[in-house]
Amino acid sequence: MSVPALVNRDIIMIGIQPWDFEIGCNFKDMAYVIARHNRVIYVNRPLDRVTAWRLPDDVKTKTRKQSIERGEKVLEEVEKNLWVFNPPVMLESINWLNHGFIYRYLNKRNNRKQAAAIEKALQNLSFKNPVLFIDNDFFNGLYLQDFLNVSCTVYYLRDFLLAQPYFSKHGVFSEPELIKKADLVVANSLYLTSYARQYNNNCFYIGQGCGDLFFKPVKTGAPADIQQIKPPIIGYCGFLTSARLDIKLLGDIAKARPEWSLVLVGPEDDDFKNSDLHTLKNIFFMGRKNEPELPAYVSRFNVCLNPQLINQLTIGNYPRKVDEYLAMGKPVVATATETMEAFAHCTYLCNGSEAYISAIEKALAEDDAEKQKMRRDVAESHSWENSINLFYNAVAAQHK
């Protein structure tokens, strides 16, 4: 086994998604793998005043307040060489401001306050000459390298957040600025790599991994709420949001094939909750499930869906759930996008209701043991170890 290009280094990981986020996230999976070879401090986003006011009963809010008010749960070692840090600071909520001098001043002050808290944690852990690895956070990460003594700043681009109004207001200025400032950029799709290269030539595609949860045999029986659902089951696992998923498409499929059962596993946004999908007898909403429960549901699917809309938010997005479906050998029908072309040999790609229905019929008819093995092999090649090694090589090249 070859020695990784980055070993025994100290890494600061700034995650836009907190460690205690309700569903799994890429950056957290990456932290586990990086910590096998290096020391890692995973920094949760600090609490801001508006969030503290709007979501006082949220578990994450309560945990951050414990850190700020009582100094509890500030720095916790979750496994060897991996610490989770809740900065004991309250940031100002400034996204409502127009972009200009006042916003930039306050954002820099927020960054300075966060950096000071991080610096104390680094001293407690005796971190030296760390690499700063920022996950898509062009607000709280924009000025950190100005206030922290780091050897290298890496910006991780895994989602085109500028497609969302909340992020685009200031992000159209802040993200290009951070990409330019970073020593290098790594991205999980070729589309996002190309986007970042407009501002920084030192950009690298590192792909993405798939956790081992979906590779393990499902030892438990079928969950009680899916046992009585009639096959064939056409399923989806993930956050049900109208920003990414085609509600009309799902309805068209269910209406055209009432003998199919559409099973949707995951929390719903308001558009899904209020949609006509709830009136269709062959669509079943399973609700939010804990991550370890998901393979048991996917194991019951005859065909898995990724019914994305095509928009700026999705077109360059790496389909993590597709890897998870493939890891269980399941046939996958998905919306054809530039990023999904890499999966053309092992999935059914299409656009529109009629094409989706035809593809599902074909997937049901063609499924066999040979195709199931091929799908698992594809998923195995998309490991976090492979992705992290590409990240290591990019950082190591920067230090030559």
Number of H helices, E strands in the chain: 14, 16
According to DSSP, the residues that pair with 10 across neighbouring strands are: 39
Alpha-carbon distances of 296 from 126, 292, 308, 326, rounded to whole Å:
43, 8, 23, 14
Specify the residue for token string 């199931």.
372
> Which domains occur in the chain, in start order?
10-209+383-398 (3.40.50.2000), 213-381 (3.40.50.2000)
Q: In terms of C-beta distances under 8 Å and separation of at least 24 residues, what long-range contacts does 387-390 make, across chains too?
A: 387/30, 387/188, 387/206, 387/207, 387/208, 387/209, 388/4, 388/30, 388/33, 388/34, 388/206, 388/209, 389/4, 389/5, 390/186, 390/204, 390/205, 390/206, 390/207
Give the pairing of strands 75-79 and 82-85: antiparallel
Which SS3 state, helix, strand or coil, does residue 295 take?
helix
Q: What share of the chain is helix, strand, coil (3-state, %, to 5)?
A: 40, 20, 40
Torsion angle in degrees (nearest 10) through CA of 259, 264, 265, 270: -150
Q: Which residues contact 273 (CB under 8 A, 6 or more apart)?
A: none
Burial classification of residue 374, based on how many CB atoms lie within 10 Å of its CB (0-12 exposed, 13-18 middle, 19 or more buried): middle
pLDDT tens string for the chain (400 positions)? 465 778 899 999 998 889 988 666 889 989 999 999 999 999 999 999 999 999 999 999 999 999 999 999 999 999 999 999 999 999 999 999 999 999 999 999 999 999 999 999 999 999 999 999 999 999 999 999 999 999 999 999 988 888 888 899 999 999 999 999 999 999 988 889 999 999 999 999 998 887 777 877 787 778 889 989 999 999 999 999 998 999 999 999 999 999 999 999 999 999 999 999 999 999 999 999 988 889 999 999 999 999 999 888 787 778 788 999 999 999 999 999 878 888 899 999 999 999 999 999 999 999 999 999 999 999 888 888 888 989 999 998 876 5
